[in-house]
Amino acid sequence: MSKNKKNANVDIFQLLLEKKEKQGKIKWKALLESLNVREFFEDGSISINERTCQGLECELCIKACPTKALYWRDGKVGIIKDLCVYCGACVLCCIVDDCITITRKRADGTTESFSKPGDIVVLFNGINSRRRHQRVRGIFPDDEAYLKRCGKTKTA
Ligand code: SF4
Ligand code: SF4
């Protein structure tokens, strides 16, 4: 196939769109890093229970939100959903359990949901222990490799 014929099959508009999206994502990530947001998610949902929220007496979530997705208006906490990155900072500091509920999707397709500070601690412990396990498995792919490193052999 000639070079010109090959180029004719390329959808230039699609390429430009993809490039723009890619650049947008890079800028978005850089912006979040500058705001000290280490964990951010593109897909998710957030809701606030207006009946249990302590509102004006509290406003801790509004102060904690790194992207300014939360605001106070008309006697309640409002959410600008497009600005939310489902980081969980608001849940971590909320004084009422099950007041803010977040569900978010990881890049591997798994979803997690939490509504209490304790949920986040459990979640992070689980993630960290999984990462530790993966690191050890990367160095020692099986039990024998591990025992060999310790100068031992597997007993039958
Ligand atoms: S999860 Fe909470 S703290 Fe994080 S961006 Fe969304 S509203 Fe803000
Ligand atoms: S931190 Fe919780 S209780 Fe306080 S204003 Fe935010 S949602 Fe309401």
Domain boundaries, the chain: 40-115, 116-156
The rounded Å distance from CA 85 to ligand 1 centre is: 6
**pLDDT score, position 54:** 94
Cβ-based neighbour number of residue 93 at 10 Å:
15
**pLDDT score, position 112:** 93
In the chain, count H helices and then E strands: 6, 5
CA 25 to CA 124: how far, in whole Å? 25
CA 32 to CA 35: how far, in whole Å? 5
CA of 60, closest atom in ligand 2 = 1
**pLDDT score, position 2:** 46
The rounded Å distance from CA 72 to ligand 2 centre is: 10
State the residue for tokens 């979640």.
123
The rounded Å distance from CA 81 to ligand 1 centre is: 9
CATH number of the domain at 40-115, please?
A: 3.30.70.20
The rounded Å distance from CA 129 to ligand 1 centre is: 25
Pick out the chain residues at pLDDT < 70.
Answer: 1-10, 12, 14-16, 18-20, 22, 154-156
**pLDDT score, position 36:** 76
CA of 70, closest atom in ligand 1 = 7
What pTM, to 2 d.p., does this model score?
A: 0.71
Give the tokens for residue 91: 């849940």
**pLDDT score, position 148:** 80
State the residue for tokens 């300014």.
68
**pLDDT score, position 125:** 81
Residue ID of nearest Cα to ligand 1 atom 5 = 84
Cβ-based neighbour number of residue 100 at 10 Å:
25
